[in-house]
Each structure stands twice: as C-alpha cells, then as structure tokens.
Amino acid sequence: MSVSDDQIAHALELFDGVAPLTTRKMMGGLCIYSDGVIFAIIHGDHGIMIKGKGDFVTELEGMGCTRWTYTRDRGAKAGGPTGMPYWTLPDSAQDDPTAASALARRALTFL
C-alpha cells in the first residue's frame, strides 16, 4: 500500500519542529530526513514510524511503541522474522507536533 498525500502532509506538519525536512519516496513508503539524515518513515501499512537506535529503543518500547518486523520470504533466513530499525509513534505524538518533533530530535541524537 502506498502513502497518500494527506499522510505525507500530516507527517511533515508533525515534524516541522526539526526543519529543514526533505523526503524521498521508496518502496511504497516515504523516508523523512532532517539535514540529510533519515529519522522517520511513513509505511503504507504501519503509518508514521520513527527510527530507533541505542538507548532510544528502550525509551520507545517504554512508551508502548512497536517495532516494524516482517517475515523473510527467501534466502537462508526465509520464514524467519526480520526487525527493521523503525518503531510506531506513541499515541501521545500521533497528533501533537511538539511531542513528535521532540521524539524526532531525540532520534537524531542517536543517528
């Protein structure tokens, strides 16, 4: 499923506090960058997701965020789960630009 113009506009509004923002459509989704560093994506099935690394992962999990995983369909690890470095936004940040931008800035400190 591809992302809609409305989803893109909403994400850019949420992360306006970490401008300058740029985007790039990839694999049916959209990557969101600040100063050339990817910190979030819009996934067609999972919505807006923020990149997690290091201790920030523990923080995201503590907020109830879930990691994007999928099942490999080929190769030596076919049938096994694969985790991507992206987590759902917590409910508190879904419609709050201040909270979403704060999470983005936090993510960028680990990237």
- CATH code for 5-109? 3.30.1460.30
Higher pLDDT, 78 or 45: 45
β-strand partners of 24: 31
How far apart CA 96 and CA 111 sit, in angstroms, is 23
Residue boundaries of the structural domains of the chain: 5-109
| pLDDT number for residue 95 | 97
pLDDT at 7: 94
Residue 79 burial (10 A CB sphere; 0-12, 13-18, 19+): exposed
pLDDT tens digits for 65-109? 999 998 877 776 777 889 999 999 999 999 999 999 999 999 999
- Six-digit token pair at 105? 């800035």
Q: Is the pTM of this model over 0.85?
A: yes
